[in-house]
């Protein structure tokens, strides 16, 4: 089921994927809508959309709008990351079938120490893929704190938002369920960090994985409340738990389990738009059967001053330290 888009002042504004930003764990905004009109649009037959074949180089591209408030070091790393991702996970051709998608896609990035410097897009804040129905763009407001404290989030958020564009291409814009959409982007960004920077939030067990709310995992299917899922760590936990389940139940390698979750499940929704059916086909279990496995994980009181409440302590679910993003993305082929 699609979520309704908001109408403000007669102008349709949709936030495709608003994502947590900031080293303080704050979420600026959550998903409040999706593309309008995509239910009605004739998107053609599936054989026109081959997810294994990216468009030729140049067919889908990005325009970088990088404000001078950003450090040169960040700009250099941004360019490196975008180059790596376009090579490792080219945006699938189906992205052109997404209503409101246009190429090149503008990316607007700036240092949060300054006001949004792009007058043509005055409402931008935080990190998201946003659109107005005729155009879609990426927003990267990098929190000043992340430069001060050298937080890897200032780089990994680029991976997170790119991954949403990749997902849009894989699925022609079908983001259900949210825990696999956002959890997938979160896991992708942490695998990238682990490979390129030798560290990631896996190292601290994805703290905090908020425990409240997990008694009803289905609550993470359509809308993820920021208080229940700070920076999508709980959604990412569910992805890690699913990967473990696939390894144990089906004997898949670790890399292959993550690849199926990140790529094949999303791509399966092209031919089977009902995500629960696609889930059962790809993972050989129903979502409900998977959810029933989650109560095995221990809940403890937070031992960090800045977060009060119960969290999940699941070090055994963290991916192998030497597993790289590129191994995950090419597991089937290798
Ligand atoms: Zn996101």
pLDDT of residue 225: 81
Q: What's the pLDDT score for residue 92?
A: 87
Residue 106 lies in a domain: yes
Tell whether 259 is covered by a domain: yes
Residue 273 lies in a domain: yes
What is the pTM for the complete model shown? 0.86
Question: Do 158 and 288 lie in a common domain?
Answer: no
pLDDT reported for residue 99: 87
Tell me, yes or no, whether 137 and 206 share the same domain: no
Domain total for the chain? 2
- Is 138 in the same domain as 210? no
**Of 129, 154, 173, which one is at a domain's C-terminal end?**
173
Residues 207 and 142 in one domain: no
For the chain, list residues with pLDDT below 50.
1-13, 20-47, 57
Q: Is the same domain home to 182 and 274? A: yes
Question: Phi and psi dihedrals of 58, rounded to 5?
Answer: 100, -20
pLDDT of residue 25: 30
Closest CA to 100 of 178, 18, 12, 182: 12
Tell me, what's the pLDDT at 50?
59
Question: Is the domain of 146 the same as that of 21?
Answer: yes
How far does the centroid of ligand 1 lie from the alpha carbon of residue 20, in Å? 7
Distance CA 45, CA 49 (A): 8
- The domain in which residue 167 lies consists of 13-34+50-173
Could you tell me the distance, in angstroms and rounded to a whole number, from the CA of residue 182 to the centre of ligand 1?
5
pLDDT at 129: 96
How far, in Å, CA of 96 to CA of 127, rounded? 22
pLDDT at 213: 83
In a shared domain, residues 103 and 192 = no
Please give the backbone phi and psi of residue 129, each rounded to the nearest 5 degrees, phi first: -105, 120
Distance 221 CA to ligand 1 centre (A): 14
Q: Are residues 214 and 289 in the same domain?
A: yes
């Amino acid at each position: 089921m699609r979520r309704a888009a908001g109408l403000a002042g007669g102008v349709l504004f949709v936030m495709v994927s608003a994502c947590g930003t900031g080293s303080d764990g704050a979420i600026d905004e959550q998903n409040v809508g999706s593309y309008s009109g995509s239910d009605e649009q004739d998107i053609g037959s599936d054989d026109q959309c081959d997810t294994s074949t990216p468009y030729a180089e140049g067919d889908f591209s990005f325009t970088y709008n990088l404000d001078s408030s950003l450090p040169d070091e960040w700009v250099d790393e941004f360019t490196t990351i975008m180059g790596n991702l376009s090579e490792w996970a080219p945006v699938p051709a189906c992205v052109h079938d997404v209503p409101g998608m246009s190429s090149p896609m503008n990316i607007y990035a700036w240092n949060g120490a300054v006001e949004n410097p792009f007058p043509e897009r005055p409402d931008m804040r935080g990190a998201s893929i946003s659109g107005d129905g005729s155009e879609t763009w990426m927003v990267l407001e990098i929190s000043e704190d992340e430069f001060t404290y050298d937080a890897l989030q200032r780089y990994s958020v680029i991976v997170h938002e790119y991954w949403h564009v990749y997902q849009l291409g894989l699925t022609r814009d079908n983001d259900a369920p949210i825990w696999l959409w956002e959890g997938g982007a979160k896991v992708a960004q942490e695998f990238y960090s682990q490979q390129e920077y030798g560290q990631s939030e896996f190292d601290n067990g994805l703290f905090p994985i908020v425990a409240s709310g997990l008694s009803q995992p289905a609550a993470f299917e359509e809308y993820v409340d920021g208080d229940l899922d700070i920076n999508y760590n709980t959604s990412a936990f569910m992805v890690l738990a699913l990967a473990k389940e696939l390894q144990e139940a089906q004997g898949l390698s670790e890399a292959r389990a993550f690849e199926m979750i990140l790529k094949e499940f999303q791509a399966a929704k092209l031919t089977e738009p009902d995500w629960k059916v696609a889930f059962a086909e790809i993972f050989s279990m129903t979502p409900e059967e998977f959810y029933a496995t989650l109560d095995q994980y221990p809940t403890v009181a937070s031992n960090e001053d800045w977060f009060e409440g119960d969290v999940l302590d699941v070090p055994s679910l963290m991916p192998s330290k030497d597993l790289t993003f590129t191994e995950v993305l090419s597991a089937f082929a290798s």
